Amino acid sequence: MKPTEGRRRVVIEEVQPSVDGGRYAAKRVIGDVVEVTAAIFGDGHDHVAGRLLYRHESDKEWCEARFEPLTNDLWQARFPVDRIGAWSFTIEAWVDHFDTWSHDLVKRLDAQPDPKEPTAQVLPQDIPLALRIGANLLEAAAERAEKTDAADAKRLTEAAAQLRHLADAKLPYYDSPMTLELESLVAKYPDMSFATRLDRELPLWVDRERARFSAWYELFPRSCSPVPGEHGTFRDVEARLPQIAAMGFDIVYLPPIHPIGVQYRKGKNNSVIAEPGDVGSPWAIGSAEGGHTSIHQQLGTMQDFEHLVKATQTHGMEIALDIAFQCSPDHPWVKQHPTWFTIRPDGSIQYAENPPKKYQDIYPLNFESKDWRGLWDALYGVFKFWVDHGVRVFRVDNPHTKALPFWEWCIAEMRKTHPEVIFLAEAFTRPHVMYSLAKAGYTQGYTYFTWRQTKSELQEYFEEICNPPVSDFFRPNVWPNTPDILHAQLQEPDPVKRRAVFQLRAVLAATLSANWGIYGPAFELCEWRPAKPAAGKTGSEEYLDSEKYQIREWNRSAPDSIAPLLTKLNRIRRENRALERNEHLVFHDAPNPQLLCYSKATADKSNVVLVVVNLDPANEQTAWLDLKLDALGLPWQGSFMVEDLVTGATYTWKNQWNYVALRQWEMPAHVFRVVRP
């Protein structure tokens, strides 16, 4: 089949950023300058040109930026994003006849024999003809300019007349009549008659700054009471806010705050039989008091919750609310909407299970329900309810067990009225599913960091998630522990090794990723006791006396607390812009499998942080680092200074090879700031 216009000779390919060919939006943050690259080329030797068209969803007109050549038919253009929300961009490219002519004219002029040379031969010249061709091109540009700028049209017409005058003069030798000013003027009015336009507009979603850079602190409100054994309240959480803010965290994450089911309530240590007074799991949501839009009465009232939200904001932080779309047998939806659940042949509702494990206190939702539309509306309504009560950050429990099309619709629907809302996906599942959630709109996602322990595992994983194509849609949020996950490495009975393990994992999490978080009290106090001791690679990642099933008392003034280190790490993050982003993460060579060395830098290298971590909590490790000095913004020869931001010590280093020794009983990591020479 013939095209409708066969004179469009330019091809546009390999456009980036583009997620699945534009099926999903790439992600950026307000204030970013978006770099767009594309392969732009045509047949023969004619020059090509291109422009980037971009706009925010609220704009009626396109803005434009010119593409500049890189190498091998690759071009690049940039545009700033100054508003959150949906953006789009596309590309137009064309054969640039004037630029082709100008380039060829230079070659013709360079080939002229110098008439002053006595041996010069007078050769036939085609320069006057070339000048007339240029005049035609300028007159055509003047016609295009006339539509928008008469003054420019006049200048172009005058330039055309000058070329014709030169052509008529038939000089023995011609100097170049071209100027940069004239070339720029012509470029303002390109001939788009046969321009190729990309066959689609590529989407881009722009978030607020906290989407890229945040520090999360998770706590259970019911364990916040100053009275031992007493159920905590929102007011008790408020009393803790100054401490959390002083530690440098900016998001206070609360597990579900809803009524907890009574039927099949879990007892302490995940016992299937609850004893009198057992408080149950907050994730078994729903009782006679209400469901996902109700508050557990022992925590306080809705007024108390709204007061907590505002109080958190006065400390420069935000509340993140856990949304877990599952129901206890007592949830009102079970009676009101039984079709939203899976009914077994005996008429009973299917509870959650992962054979042979059974979770009778939780009913999963059925996303193949005949009333799936009603279910979707109700779940969206949960988010809408809490947004109306001041929440702007959600941590979503197990989103990978819910229909992916639902998330794409739900998040897009929320963004129509509240584009500032942040969604964190708690999905420890297969990579394609995790990435699909990010493509569907999740702002951030949990990672495999907890289980990446060796040097090669860490380097390979972070190189994957911190670089395109993954980094265009997936923002990692790194957690060394959660209420569900006490990794075997943290289950260290020896106090010296245990402290080293918690410290090194904190340094890794806080510096490898711009977003990180901790299950607060347990991590700062180095809680290490598993429900079942690990045997090799088997065992339990559950905590003994897990806070998921009981109220815990935490002695935050304990002398072995690593809260001072966590505070220092958050301060280092805030004071060094290099740690606010992931895209300039570079790993350096350290010929020791127990030493991991990496750096982060701002784009202009004005701030550079270099981290060295001893991954062995039992032994001192040493190495001569082989630094990639260009990644540090340093010359390959000469000395420079590094300042350890954890200890305050300074060192003078020279060239690329430098010695380090990390002793686990002191501090298992260096966090250096490179001092500019």
pLDDT, tens digit, for every residue of 302-330? 999 999 999 999 999 999 999 999 999 99
Q: To 10 degrees, the CA torsion angle through 508, 511, 512, 513?
A: 120
Q: What is the set of active-site residues?
A: 397, 426
Of 59, 60, 66, 65, the closest CA to residue 82 belongs to: 59
Continuous segment of H or E residues that includes residue 622: strand 621-626
Domains of the chain, first to last: 11-94+198-206 (2.60.40.10), 97-187 (1.20.58), 216-327+372-576 (3.20.20.80), 586-675 (2.60.40.1180)
Distance CA 402, CA 400 (A): 5
Pair of tokens at residue 663: 């002793």
Continuous segment of H or E residues that includes residue 651: strand 650-654
pLDDT given at position 124: 52
Q: Is the pLDDT of residue 428 over 90?
A: yes
Amino acid at residue number 380 = Y
Identify which has the larger pLDDT, 648 or 122.
Answer: 648
Q: Is the pLDDT of residue 119 over 80?
A: no
Distance CA 242, CA 259 (A): 27
pLDDT given at position 149: 93
Q: What is the pLDDT of residues 586-645, one digit of tens each?
A: 999 999 999 999 999 999 999 999 999 999 999 999 999 999 999 999 999 999 999 999
Amino acid at residue number 542 = E
Backbone dihedral angles phi then psi of residue 74, each to the nearest 5 degrees: -90, 140
CA distances from 163 to 46, 133, 170, 180 (A): 22, 9, 11, 16
Q: Is the pLDDT of residue 664 over 90?
A: no
Q: What is the pTM of this model?
A: 0.94
Q: What is the pLDDT of residues 121-161, one digit of tens each?
A: 555 568 999 999 999 999 999 999 999 999 999 999 999 99
